Amino acid sequence: MDLLSVTSEIYPLIKTGGLADVAGALPAALGAHHVAVKTLVPGYPQVMSQLRDTQVVIEYEDLFDGSARILAGRAAGLDLFVIDAPHLYNREGGPYGGASGDYADNWKRYAGLSFVAAELSRGKAQGYEPDVMQAHDWQSALAPAYVAYGGGRRKAKTVMTIHNLAFQGQFGRDIFWKLQLPPEAFSMSGVEYYGGVGFLKAGIQTADAVTTVSPTYAAEIRTREFGMGLDGLLNVRSDRLHGILNGIDTDAWDPGTDPFLHANYRLSTIKQREENKLALETRFGLNRDDGPLFGLVSRLTWQKGIDILSSCIDPLVNAGGRLVVLGSGDDTLESAMASAAWRHPGRVGFERSYDEPLSHLIQGGVDAILVPSRFEPCGLTQLFGLRYGAVPVVSRVGGLADTVIDANLAAVEAGVATGVQFSPVSQHALLGAINRTIALYRDERVWSRMRRNGMKFDVGWHASAAKYVKLFRELLGQATEDDDSDS
């Protein structure tokens, strides 16, 4: 089976969040199930500079106001199609914006990505015609619409994968006539959304199947509270909506071999983990003591509950905890973290940056990793935490609810707990979770059992990749009775 994956970021070439991790890990995960994945990405400078063995497969004189070439090639072990269109993607800033905010022409940049995806799906590049096209998030979400309204013979089935419903790609109606879609596409059953154009809405509406990245989030987004205005449509399409949990790349994230750690370790050599904690304490200028070291690696935004965490830092420190924070984002939240570090020298450290190596060291060194999100489609940092022996302390939402077993009395008694969950997402509940974590930490037997359970928990892709394959086969009418098993 051939799959065309369409994404606006992919690890290790370009990453702003979990989407890149997933897009980068899926090709190998699906490859193990005999699905050949090629990924279409924009030709950002970070992609162009790493691309090798290139071959031009399509040329456009005019792709959204400039000439473009579609290159087939390889980079970092990935099979890629890359849109070499300097007028759209050759920018100095990040993939979505620069110092002065989001690029004003993002609609055009990602309509271009979606348009090319549909052309590739239709066999426009000689010798390549995928069976399935998977569009990730709003940036690729017009692709299923371009396929649906493209007319003619159609082989590829389309899958819209939602990594975060909060980012929808909504634009004014004035862009519609530039999208090269037929007039009838501007309707409730097409790309129209509250009088404008909704990219993600269009993808959800027109794809053959819709997936999101955890079973709990798949249920949550059908409610008003989490549906971000799309719950009505998601309910209409509920028979085609599937929650498939993300995994992590267990090679890139392996404490036994991770080059970013000061000391590698496994369950059997867990004592060596202590060296990473020491390295973190030195780096952040923290006092050494016998209390637990908490960590946070996150975008600093409202979604991630950082304001709530901020209100819990003084009591966390007073209860004997210490905290290291790595992240950047909203100005006020960055200031709140900087202020906490200033108030608690030796107890709280903050690094305002995006730093992949440091994110690994934090997972490999802290005792507990905090994920107090208001909503969390899947979440990856709790999965890294489980694998690295950093006990996750998480809000009970989305993928966090699906991947962490709370250390309630019954779970501790049964010896199955892997972390701490709290609900609702409030200061009171988070404080309760922090205090519970500190108490659990002080019980060495219980704590080491929790950590061991977490490190043994299967956070890899195998089971979820099998679920994707099963879905693809169903869409292609290839399902057999044997497919009831997940592999």
Residue span binding ligand ADP (CB under 6 A) among the ranges 85-93, 152-160, 331-339, 377-385:
377-385
Determine which residue in the list 379, 392, 419, 454 makes contact with ligand ADP, applying CB under 6 A: 379
CA 367 to CA 316: how far, in whole Å? 14
Draw the binding track, 239-278, toward ligand ADP (x: CB under 6 A; -: no contact). ----------------------------------------
Draw the binding track, 153-192, toward ligand ADP (x: CB under 6 A; -: no contact). -----------x----------------------------
Closer by beta carbon to ligand ADP, 122 or else 387: 387
- Minimal distance, residue 359 CB to ligand ADP, in Å: 4
Please list every residue from 336 through 375 that binds ligand ADP, using CB under 6 A: 354-356, 359
Residue nearest to ligand ADP (CB): 18
Determine which residue in the list 326, 348, 393, 465 makes contact with ligand ADP, applying CB under 6 A: 326
Closest CA to 201 of 180, 240, 171: 171
- Minimal distance, residue 306 CB to ligand ADP, in Å: 11
* Cα 225 from chain centroid (whole Å): 21
Answer for the pair 69, 146: CB distance below 8 angstroms, yes or no.
Answer: no
Helical (H) or strand (E) element with 116: helix 106-121
CA 181 to CA 174: how far, in whole Å? 13
- Minimal distance, residue 461 CB to ligand ADP, in Å: 14
Closer by beta carbon to ligand ADP, 157 or else 360: 360
Closer by beta carbon to ligand ADP, 203 or else 399: 399
Residue 175 tokens read as 């862009």
Count, residues near ligand ADP per rule CB under 6 A: 18
Question: Residues 372-387, buried b or exposed e (16+ Cβ, 10 A)?
Answer: bbbbbbbbbbbbbbbb
CA 154 to CA 475: how far, in whole Å? 13
Answer for the pair 425, 374: CB distance below 8 angstroms, yes or no.
Answer: yes
Spatial neighbors of 61 by CB under 8 A, at least 6 apart, are 67
Residue span binding ligand ADP (CB under 6 A) among the ranges 81-89, 177-185, 292-300, 467-475:
292-300
Q: Could you identify the residue written with the tokens 């920018």? A: 91
Closer by beta carbon to ligand ADP, 46 or else 328: 328
| Cα end-to-end span (Å), the chain | 15
Query: Looking at the DSSP assignment, which residues form a beta bridge with residue 484?
Result: none
Closer by beta carbon to ligand ADP, 21 or else 84: 21
Helical (H) or strand (E) element with 274: helix 273-284
Closer by beta carbon to ligand ADP, 99 or else 104: 99
The contact set with ligand ADP (CB under 6 A) reads 17-18, 21, 164, 297-299, 326-328, 354-356, 359, 378-381
